[in-house]
Amino acid sequence: MDKIEQTYEIAASPEEVWRALTDPELIREWSGAAAEFPLQAGAKYSLWDGSIVGEIIEIIPEQKLVQTWKPQDWTRTDSVVTFALTPQGKGTRVDLVHVNVEESDYEGTNEGWDIYYLGEIKRMLEARAKPKPKRVAAKKRSTKTAKKPKAAKKTSRAKKKVTKKR
């Protein structure tokens, strides 16, 4: 078992998903760590403050990204990740294929794609897409206490007097 295949449906455009995969500022937002990602084939990239490094192999903007994958603790140097983006309704389907996964880290890597990578991208983008609840402006309240009309005051006094006589 050295291959991982996962599919995500993300309620965001392919452009938004692409930016989340390739823009260092957005990568920092969903990953919580610094990233270097020069968007050109042959360029070296790093994620999570350099704990994962690799080379960008193929770029088809908003459609396909292929890159090598080398965590610091892996001995394999031939691991490759492919992200294929397909418009689907109002969102994007992302097909992930990760080949030559380090055998000793297969389970952690398989879970990690959801917990730390594509799952985080999905959560971030879908949270942005949710409409914010409209705030209803509160009516201005007067700081003065409402006064009873004079006629109402007389009536209530009269009732009090009547009550006292009984």
For each of the domains in the chain, give its residue range(s) and CATH number, in order of start.
Answer: 3-129 (3.30.530.20)
pLDDT of residue 123: 96
Percent of the chain with pLDDT over 70: 78
Q: Which of 115, 57, 61, 64 lies closest to 93, judged by CA?
A: 64
User: In which band, very low, low, confident or very high, does the pLDDT at 56 lie, cut at 50, 70 and 90?
Assistant: very high
Give the integer Cα–Cα distance in Å for 65 and 41: 10
Q: Is the dihedral of CA 51, 21, 85, 120 positive or negative?
A: positive
Q: Give DSSP secondary structure letters for 125-159.
A: HHHHHSPPPPPPPPPP--SSPPPPPHHHHHHHHHH
Partners of residue 80 on adjacent β-strands:
68, 99
Give the integer Cα–Cα distance in Å for 120 and 145: 52
pTM of the model: 0.77
Q: CB–CB of 35/19 below 8 Å?
A: no
Residue 152: C-alpha distances to residues 45, 50, 146, 149, 160 (Å):
80, 78, 13, 5, 12
pLDDT at position 19 over 60: yes
Digit-coded pLDDT (tens) for 82-103: 999 999 999 999 999 999 999 9
Average of per-residue pLDDT values in the chain: 86
Weakest-pLDDT range from 2-6, 118-122, 128-132: 128-132
pLDDT of residue 130: 76
